[in-house]
Amino acid sequence: MACLSPSQLKKFQEDGFLLLEGFLTADECMAMQQRIGEIVAEMDVPLHCRTEFSTQEDEQLRNQGSTDYFLSSGDKIRFFFEKGVFDKKGNFLVPPEKSINKIGHVSPHQDATFLYTEPLGRVLGVWIAMEDALLENGCLWFIPGSHTRGVSRRMIRAPAGTSFLGSEPAWDSNLFVPLPVRRGGLVLIHGEVVHKSEQNLSNHSRQAYTFHLMEAAAGTVWSPENWLQPTTELPFPPLYI
Ligand code: FE2
């Protein structure tokens, strides 16, 4: 198994993120994209579940909070859409394959806002570029070193869906640095590092595959207030025991 070099580990610890170039081959990316294409082609979203995804607090509460489609998405394939994808009746205004938000932009946030553990520092995001993700088509941006400041706000389950504890600071946009990634590159994302991606206004899609890992050893507690909870049908699968 490949390991991080001491200098890579140091960089991750300092910055809160790390790019590993060429993690997947172009063929592996294409195979994954083909499978994503099949899933999107077969997607069937009930009209009342045409939920737009946003990390803006108000919209999140309105669009996701009371929506069972979102809260029960942890062990299923569910679809979340960019703004302006649907008309008022819920019909697609853009081709469905261009509409999926999780392959789109997100406002500044820390993953621990949504995936909270005690102690902190036990969640790691993995983000793999299926296509080049560059400045012009919505690459990731980070505030280096911002993972050492704790968590500004938390999204928790509430009787009506979800609500927030705390608030997202107005992050200084000058502190963000872009991280262009070529196809097949993998980005490790510390659970508390502040990151975002801009809207992709170019003609080039930038599909990415992303998931999160939790270090379950040493008494880590996955908050029972997190929106995402393991189910009996799909407990969080251990990577190794
Ligand atoms: Fe994130």
Question: pLDDT tens for residues 69-128?
Answer: 666 666 666 666 666 777 777 777 777 776 665 544 578 999 999 999 999 989 999 999
CA 89 to ligand 1 centroid distance, Å: 30
CA 111 to ligand 1 centroid distance, Å: 5
**2-11, 54-63, 117-126, 188-197: range with lowest mean pLDDT:** 54-63
Whether 52 maps to a domain, the answer reads yes
Whether 226 maps to a domain, the answer reads no
- Alpha-carbon span 200 to 98, nearest angstrom: 11
Per-residue pLDDT tens over the stretch 118-170: 999 899 999 999 999 999 998 999 999 999 989 999 999 888 778 899 998 99
Nearest C-alpha neighbor of 105 from the set 204, 203, 201, 212: 201
- Alpha-carbon span 169 to 14, nearest angstrom: 21
Whether 233 maps to a domain, the answer reads no
The pLDDT score that the predictor gives to residue 234 is 80
Q: Would you state the structure tokens that stand for residue 16, as one six-digit string?
A: 């809160």
Whether 225 maps to a domain, the answer reads no
Whether 237 maps to a domain, the answer reads no
Nearest C-alpha neighbor of 110 from the set 66, 142, 133: 142
DSSP string, 70-82: HHT-TTS----B-
CA 5 to ligand 1 centroid distance, Å: 24
Domain that holds residue 104: 6-215
Per-residue pLDDT tens over the stretch 11-62: 999 999 999 999 999 999 999 999 988 888 887 776 656 655 556 665 555 5
Q: Domain total for the chain? A: 1
Percentage of the chain lying above the pLDDT 70 cut: 79
190-to-83, 143, 144, 150, 158 alpha-carbon distances in Å: 27, 11, 11, 11, 26
- Alpha-carbon span 150 to 11, nearest angstrom: 19
CATH of the domain at 172: 2.60.120.620
CA atoms within 13 A on the CB side of 50: 18
Whether 76 maps to a domain, the answer reads yes
Instruction: Give the angle subtended at the CA of 141 by the CAs of 137 and 143, to the nearest 5°.
Output: 170
CA 107 to ligand 1 centroid distance, Å: 9
| pLDDT band, very low/low/confident/very high, at 65 (cuts 50, 70, 90) | very low
Asked if 53 and 101 touch (Cβ cutoff 8 Å), the reply is yes
Rg of the chain over Cα atoms, rounded to whole angstroms, equals 18
The pLDDT score that the predictor gives to residue 52 is 58
Whether 240 maps to a domain, the answer reads no
pLDDT averaged over the chain?
84
CA 23 to ligand 1 centroid distance, Å: 20
Q: Would you state the structure tokens that stand for residue 129, as one six-digit string?
A: 């570029």
| pLDDT band, very low/low/confident/very high, at 66 (cuts 50, 70, 90) | very low
Largest CA distance in the chain: 54
Whether 194 maps to a domain, the answer reads yes
CA 114 to ligand 1 centroid distance, Å: 9
CA 26 to ligand 1 centroid distance, Å: 24
